Every structure is written in C-alpha cells, then in structure tokens.
Amino acid sequence: MPRSCRDCLPMMPTELSAVLPARHIQEECGVFGVYAPETTDVAPLAYYALYALQHRGQESAGIAVNDDGVFTAYRDVGLVNEVFPAERLRSLGTGTIAVGHVRYGTTGSDNKRNVQPILVNHYKGRMALAHNGNLTNSHALRQELESQGSIFQTTTDSEVIAYIIVQERLRAPSIEEAVSAAMDRIEGAYSLVISSPTKLIAVRDPHGFRPLCMGRLRDGGVVFASESCALDAIGARFERDILPGEIVVADKSGVKSDTRHCGKAPKRLCVFEFIYFARPDSVIDGSSVHVARQRAGAFLALEHPVQADIVIGVPDSGLDAALGVHSSHHCQYIVIVCPVGAYYPEGLNPVKIYVEDEDVRAVKGGTGMAKTGGNYAASLRAGDRAEAKGYSQVLWLDGVHRKYIEEVGSMNVMFKVAGKILTPDLNGSVLSGITRRSCIQLLKDWGYEVEERRISAEELFEAAENGTLEEAWGTGTAAVVSPIGELAEGDKKVTISGNKIGPVTQRLYDELTGIQWGRVADPHGWTMKVC
C-alpha cells in the first residue's frame, strides 16, 4: 500500500494554523549581506542569494546597496523576481555593501510598510538592517521607546531592534559596540545582517535560534546568509557558521569576531529548520539538512513500521524523509537506443539564434552545470519568445552579470574569431559536454588555437561588425554540430558566415559523425564495440 510521509511527520505550519491563533506560526525570513573589497555589482549577488532563500519567505523582498555611505534601496511585496526585474535591479547601482531580505512575517501585518531591510537615519550615520526571527520582549521595548519619543513606521519587532541599536550607537564608540550593548537588552530569536556606512555586521542571538553562516567570494569579499544554499547560488565558498551570540564585522581592515556574548545561554536551534524551513541542500551548524531529514524518516519508520510499496513525500520537504522511510535497494540502469531525426527543423543548415536577456538557464551552485530537467525548464518560456520572433533557439547569458555567453539552447557553443576558436569556460553553470570536449580535441589536432574564457555578447557583436566573427556553432549529443547563421539581440542583428555552414563547422560534423559510424578512423579511442 502507498504511504505518505505526512502519516509519520509532525504537523507542518500550515496545519498548525488550524489549531493555533492566526499568525502564531509562519515560515521564517531569509537574510543576506555582502561586503566587497572594491566597488562592484553587489545588487545581483544579493538578488541571486535571495532567490535561493525564497523558500524562507514569499511575502516580500528588499535590497539595500551601500556605495561609500550612500544607501540606495528598493523593497516591495512579492517574490524576488517580481520585485526586482532587470531594470530595477540595475537602478540600485554599484557599491561595496549590500543587504537583502525575504520576508514571511512573524510579527507585524503583511503590508508594504513592514518590508525589509529597515533603513534608519541618525546623526552618526545611516544603517540598513535585515532580521530573521522574533523577539519575546518586543512589546515592552516598543512601549519604552515610544515613551522616549520614538516614532515607529512599521509594526515589526525588527524596527524595535533597529531603534535599540541606534539608541546605543549614540553613546557607543562604534557600531559593533552599539550592537553588543543592544544584545543585552533584546531577547528572543534574531539573526541580523547590518550595514553601517563603512561596515557589514552579522549577529546571531546567544541561543542560536536562527541559522546564519559566512562565506567568501573569489575576490575576497565576505558574505553572510541564513543558509549555505545562498552561498552556492553566487559562487561563494562556505567558511563557517556564525556562533550563537557572535558578532562578526567585515570592513576594509578585514573580518573581526566578537564572542563576548557566546556561551551565555544554552543552544536552542529551532528544530523546524531541519524538518521544514530550510532547503535540503543547505548545511546548518555542521549538519546536512538532507541527511537529517533522511535519518528522521528512518527513525519514523522504526517507530511506525508498515509494509509499503511506495512512500510519497508530502509536502516537498518530506521527500528526503521519505527516502529514509523506505530507501531503494535495487536500481535499474536503462540505456535507450533509437534513431532520431534532426535536432532542429533546419537540419544541418544554419539556425537563427536570439540572445536571451530576461530569463537565465542556471547559476553556479547546486546542479547549475548539470544537464538536468530543472535547469532547462527555463528554456521553455524563453524558447517560446524566441520562436515568436522567428528564431530557433536562445543564446543564454550568465545569471550574475547578464552579459557573458554560456550556452545556446541546450548545447555548448563555439565561435571562430580571427582564426581562433573561442568557447565559454566551465564556470560552474556551463555543461562540461562530451561533444564539446571532442570538438576541442579535434580542433587542437588540426592546429587551431582554442581559448576557453568568458565571452561577452558585446564582444561577439563587435567581432561580427568588424568582420572577424567567421563562424559560430553549437555542440551537443543530439545535434552533434549545429551551425549558427544569424544572431540577434534587441534591435541588433548580424549574419554569420553568409548564413551558410562554415568550413570548420562542416569539417567537425563530418569528422564526428564519421567516427560515430565507423567511417573515419578514431585516433583517440572514443568508440567501443558493444555487440
């Protein structure tokens, strides 16, 4: 009999809402912060990190960018991709610090005024604050602040934290000392990411109720996030979890840790992080969420044994537990061999490609570089738009900068520019295709210089305009080699190789298919007789 993981898991928040007062239990928020050593596009980093943290809050999203003390922010109700279309994201500009937040309210109503990050002005500077958690003494502190003349713009306890920090900052020598003093006054759950004019600060409450971790970017930048999955999404290396009670400060002098509040309270991580809240590919306090859920499923199966043919995880967070309830002991490996037609309707004739500037295929982290169904699901919408404009496929740009070429449709792509072969490097979101590798080897055998690097769409169009873009083609298992005859982006449109298959493209196709069919000698041992 089929069995649902719902039969043996504790009630989820949506179920608890039926027996507890409204808004008593909700999903948690997600926070993110980045400190860059030099002024750069920090807003896109915040965007993709928040996108990875979207499961922690679907109510609202916001990003604040700090450029040498000048704050530019945008916050609104909605999902990350709804709040930040490409143009609005660009309007945030560049900076060295960005703070981001996705919200599913625990305290306060659902309206726009409660959207974070919270921005506060005071005579010692400006501050942006993002908060995950809720205070147990929020009401008392709010009354105290209001009696002293504070005027609240929101109904959240996050604003209470901001005002307490500002109050302490007026008499403290630094923002980190103000945060430390504030921790003596606030009680409850809080993971904070705070931007002052010159510093990025991460704080975790002494109990460690809510998760918070730190990572490093390739350029030395420091990032903080509610979960490690956000670090993966932007190509940051996980460094460590923030300790319960720890204050970490990142500025131009480096990273400093203040542990004076550590060890003051017993550790009390919310167990629902592992049961429901967190993404399964995250690691929290040294423990894999996926493994924890799988082990929970195994214990539940021991507690409530049942003969089941199928175990179904309901909701999605129950999938990992379902694996633990009844893991598969036997797997079948199936290879399907069958004839296929032309991958594109044009066959081996050149195809028309449109540069996609709205959707992205994948970003580094998770399965970004893999050929999985999820990674290519985005191509459906983009492909429809391209087809409506008369194009066979799209040319994908990178997910962070939105300017570097990655793949064409579901294939790798190559260009012959001024006699040299250019192809995007394997950056974590580009498939390491077998056909790509075979083409590179053959091209090197023939004496061509092959350069694997970042190639911008702008560079490609410039090469087309000055006549150095000689050929372009896609490489993949199904199509083998597919020539590109026309490339378009917005109002720009260029023809490649006179809209005819180029000599290098034709030679690659003939050589690869010849090796596959046994008509051409295989110098590298790529083929194998199976029957």
| 3 falls within a domain | no
172 by Cβ neighbours in 10 Å (0-12 / 13-18 / 19+) ranks as: middle
> Rounded to the nearest 5 degrees, what angle is found at the Cα of 86, between the Cα atoms of 84 and 92?
70
HEC profile for 152-168? CCCCCHHHHHHHHHHHH
| Statement to judge: residues 41 and 150 lie in one domain | yes
CA–CA distances in Å: residue 195 to residues 89, 109, 176: 19, 25, 11
Q: Are 262 and 242 in contact (CB under 8 A)?
A: no
> H/E element holding 436?
helix 434-445
The predicted pLDDT at position 109 comes to 53
Q: Which candidate, 488, 512, 499, 381, places its Cα nearest to that of 440?
A: 512
CA dihedral 508, 514, 520, 523 (to 10 degrees): 60
pLDDT digits (tens, 9 = 90+) for 8-48: 333 333 333 333 333 333 447 999 999 999 999 999 999 99
| Alpha carbons 486 and 460: distance in angstroms, whole number | 12
* Of the residues 225, 251, 279, the one at which a domain ends: 279
- List CB contacts of 42: < 8 A, sequence separation 6 or more: 34, 36, 65, 94, 95, 96, 97, 98
| 70 falls within a domain | yes
| Statement to judge: residues 257 and 146 lie in one domain | yes
| Alpha carbons 171 and 528: distance in angstroms, whole number | 76
- List CB contacts of 134: < 8 A, sequence separation 6 or more: 106, 107, 157, 188, 189, 190
| Alpha carbons 228 and 236: distance in angstroms, whole number | 9
What is the CATH classification number for the domain harbouring 501? 3.20.10.10
* Of the residues 279, 309, 336, the one at which a domain ends: 279
> H/E element holding 302?
helix 289-303
| Alpha carbons 458 and 215: distance in angstroms, whole number | 32
At residue 454, the 3 state secondary structure works out as coil
- b/e 61-84 (16+ beta carbons within 10 angstroms → b): bbbbbbbeeebbbbbebebbeebb
What is the CATH classification number for the domain harbouring 139? 3.60.20.10
- List CB contacts of 249: < 8 A, sequence separation 6 or more: 176, 199, 200, 201, 255, 256, 257, 258
The parts of the chain modelled with pLDDT lower than 50 are: 1-27
| 93 falls within a domain | yes
Q: Which candidate, 282, 214, 208, 284, places its Cα nearest to that of 248?
A: 214
Question: Residue 84's domain spans which residues?
Answer: 27-279
| Alpha carbons 314 and 7: distance in angstroms, whole number | 9
Which of 5, 8, 29, 439 is the catalytic position?
29
| 490 falls within a domain | yes
The predicted pLDDT at position 108 comes to 53
| Statement to judge: residues 254 and 374 lie in one domain | no
Q: Which amino acid is at 303?
A: E
Considering its fold, how many domains does the chain have in total? 2
| Statement to judge: residues 271 and 414 lie in one domain | no
| Statement to judge: residues 243 and 355 lie in one domain | no
| Statement to judge: residues 381 and 483 lie in one domain | yes
| 332 falls within a domain | no
Q: Are 485 and 471 in contact (CB under 8 A)?
A: no
pLDDT digits (tens, 9 = 90+) for 130-176: 999 999 999 999 999 999 988 898 888 999 999 999 999 999 999 99
184: tokens are: 């003596």
| Statement to judge: residues 134 and 244 lie in one domain | yes
| Statement to judge: residues 229 and 86 lie in one domain | yes
The predicted pLDDT at position 300 comes to 84
The predicted model scores a pTM of 0.61
| Statement to judge: residues 384 and 497 lie in one domain | yes
The predicted pLDDT at position 341 comes to 59
**What are the respective helix, strand and coil percentages of the chain, to the nearest 5?**
30, 25, 45
| 166 falls within a domain | yes
| 11 falls within a domain | no
Q: Are 97 and 195 in contact (CB under 8 A)?
A: yes
| Statement to judge: residues 259 and 380 lie in one domain | no
| Alpha carbons 319 and 317: distance in angstroms, whole number | 6
* Of the residues 279, 308, 325, the one at which a domain ends: 279
pLDDT digits (tens, 9 = 90+) for 392-421: 889 989 888 889 999 988 889 999 999 999
- List CB contacts of 498: < 8 A, sequence separation 6 or more: none
- Taking the CA atoms of 312, 318, 324 and 329 in sequence, report the sign of the dihedral they define: positive
The predicted pLDDT at position 373 comes to 66
The predicted pLDDT at position 187 comes to 95
| 448 falls within a domain | yes
Q: Are 31 and 130 in contact (CB under 8 A)?
A: yes
Query: What are the start-end ranges of the H helices in 123-195?
Result: 138-147, 157-169, 175-183
| Statement to judge: residues 112 and 251 lie in one domain | yes
270 classed as catalytic: no
Residues in the chain: 531
Q: Are 190 and 28 in contact (CB under 8 A)?
A: no
**Secondary structure (DSSP) of 70-123:** EEEEEEEES-HHHH--HHHHHHT--EEEEEEEEE--SSS-SSGGG-SSEEEEET
Query: Could you give the angle at which helices 503-517 and 434-445 cross, rounded to 10 degrees?
Result: 110
| Statement to judge: residues 274 and 128 lie in one domain | yes
Q: Running DSSP on this structure, what letter comes out for residue 296?
A: H
| Alpha carbons 415 and 242: distance in angstroms, whole number | 45
